[in-house]
Each structure stands twice: as structure tokens, then as C-alpha cells.
Amino acid sequence: MSIQPRLAAASAAARAKLGVPELGEMKRRGDKLSVVTAYDAPSAVLAEAAGVELILVGDTAAMVVFGHGSTLPVTLEEMILLTRAVSGAARRPLVIGDLPFGSYEVSDEQAVASAIRLLKEGGADLVKLEGAGRMASRVRAIAEANIGVIGHVGLTPQSATRLGGFRAQGRTAASALALFDDALALERAGAVAVVLEAVPAAVAASISERLAVPTIGIGAGPGCDGQVLVWHDLLGLSAAATPRFVRRYAELGEEIAGALRAYVADVRSGSFPESVHTYSIPDEERARFEAALAERRLRG
């Protein structure tokens, strides 16, 4: 084979969709998984170019995209739409469609039906849901439908009110043990990974060591097998204060605000658009156009 087809094959392989087994292999090798949320196609392209393994179309969309005060109001239809935008653009990373509040709690059947919609209509590769206990049965049902499912324990924003607000979980021996049992129950039910949110680093590290599937931490310390951050937090796009576990890698909100202020000022002053931003018309066509207008004015 000449070099060109070999290069093409190598680049196609580099862009080939990751599989769930590769996530497990990464854990066994000690390679960390990078995960970020995204809610539209351009963001998915940027996330893929940066090398993330997984893109989560999170129900945080309720807050960062739709402007609600919690994650509860976002609907399955809205999540399907956002997931479709991301899955249409992401080639290599696995796209996780998040099951929103109200789309899986009622029964295993409801959970499977909602998961199927996220895959079929949204193009998701995997789905995620919050909680353990009865939710382990939802995970089992979805896994038995041959759908890769990710669990989510610790601070589960959909039940923040019941948990007493957005606060760290597992800070006593008893609650840490309960968290461990929950994570293990999800793994045994067939979860391919477990998100640990707002959990003490030591507890998350112990859980990560004991689970066979990867853990993905958010506010759960470096001992997790991967990390996830919300797009708007990571990039400094949210005006609201970010949780302590967020590192803002940019202040794009300020950049965008500055750019928009400059644009408004340029429009008002007439310094935008310039000739480079406009289209020309050949001189003879313009002369004919002006003559036709003059003619009309005469007649009018």
C-alpha cells in the first residue's frame, strides 16, 4: 500500500467512533478519560478536536441553554433535539444523552422507552440517569435492552431538594459506604460507567479502585478514572458563580461581551461594515441600474 491510502486509513481509524470496551481498557491502563458537556454541533466539533473521549449532552442544558433555575424543567423532546445536534457533529467521542427528570422514574418500561428515543431520534451512543436504589432497576432494564447506560450518584441535581441543596455527599463513614454500595449496585445492574458528583476525593478514589467500570468525577477529586466539566463553567461562559470544583480555563463570557460591545459601537458609528465586507456590482451594471431607477422616478 502506498503512503497516501495508509495515511487515510490511519486518520480514519483515529476518527473512528470509540467503543465502550475502550473506556474499560483506558481504566485498566490508568489513562484518564476526558469528558465535557456540549449542547450544539460547533461545540461538539471543538470538543472532539481537543481529544475528549466522551461528550455529555447533560440536562444542565436546562440551566445553561434554556436559562431555568434548575435541571428539572428540561423535557425529553428538548434533550433529543440537543443530542441530535451534538451526535450529528461528533465522530470519535461517544455521545451521552442525559435522561431528564420525569423521563425514567415511573417504571423500567418508561426508562427503556426514553433511552430508545435518545438513541433513535437523538443519535446518542449511551444514556445517563441519576440515582441508585430503585434506579438500579432502570439501569438494568436499559442495559438489558442493549443500550449502554451510565449511572450518576453523589450529588444528583434532579433530587437536590431532597438532598438538602447542592452540597457534597458521602462526608460521613455511613453515607460514604452508602455511596459505595450505590455505585456497586449500578455496576452490577450493568452500568458501563458511573459519574460521581461532589464526593470527597478520598471516598471517590476508594470507590474508583473497587469498581471495574470507569468512574467519571465532577467535584470528586483526581482519583476518579475520568473528569467531566460543564462547558459553560469550563469556558467561563456562565455569569453565575461556579461551584468550587470547577476550574475555569477561559473567560469567554467577558471576551464575548467585549466583542459584542465593539460590534454595537461600530454599527452605531458606521465603521462596520467596510468595503471588504460588501459585494460589488460591475460599473456598467450599476450605471444601467441607476438609469433604470431614474427612468422610474421620471415616470412615477
Q: By C-beta, is 48 or 98 nearer to ligand KIV? A: 98
* Catalytic, out of 197, 255, 284, 295: 197
Which residues make up the interface to ligand KIV (CB under 6 A)?
A: 37, 56, 58-60, 98, 152, 195, 197, 218, 228, 230
What span, in angstroms and rounded, lies between the C-alpha atoms of 222 and 281? 61
C-beta of residue 219 within 8 angstroms of C-beta of residue 210:
no
- CB 98 → ligand KIV: shortest distance, Å? 5
- CB 288 → ligand KIV: shortest distance, Å? 58
Specify burial of residue 109 (Cβ count, 10 A radius: 0-12, 13-18, 19+): exposed
Reference 194, options 219, 169, 220, 217; nearest CA is 217
Q: By C-beta, is 166 or 272 nearer to ligand KIV? A: 166
Report the residue closest to ligand KIV, judged by CB: 58
Reference 156, options 202, 121, 213, 194; nearest CA is 194
CA dihedral 209→215→216→217, nearest 10 degrees, is -50
- CB 10 → ligand KIV: shortest distance, Å? 33
Q: By C-beta, is 5 or 165 nearer to ligand KIV? A: 165
Q: Would you state the cell numbers that stand for residue 113, as one nine-digit string?
A: 422507552
Could you tell me which residues come within 8 angstroms of residue 92 by beta carbon, excluding any fewer than 6 positions away?
14, 15, 16, 17, 18, 48
**Strand pairing class (94-98; 148-154):** unpaired
Q: By C-beta, is 147 or 216 nearer to ligand KIV? A: 216
Q: What are phi and psi for residue 92, nearest 5 degrees?
A: -85, -45
Q: By C-beta, is 143 or 198 nearer to ligand KIV? A: 198
- CB 152 → ligand KIV: shortest distance, Å? 6
Q: Is 197 a catalytic residue?
A: yes
- Residue carrying the nine cell digits 468595503: 275
Q: Would you state the cell numbers that stand for residue 67, as one nine-digit string?
A: 436559562
- CB 15 → ligand KIV: shortest distance, Å? 25
Q: Give the active site residues.
A: 197
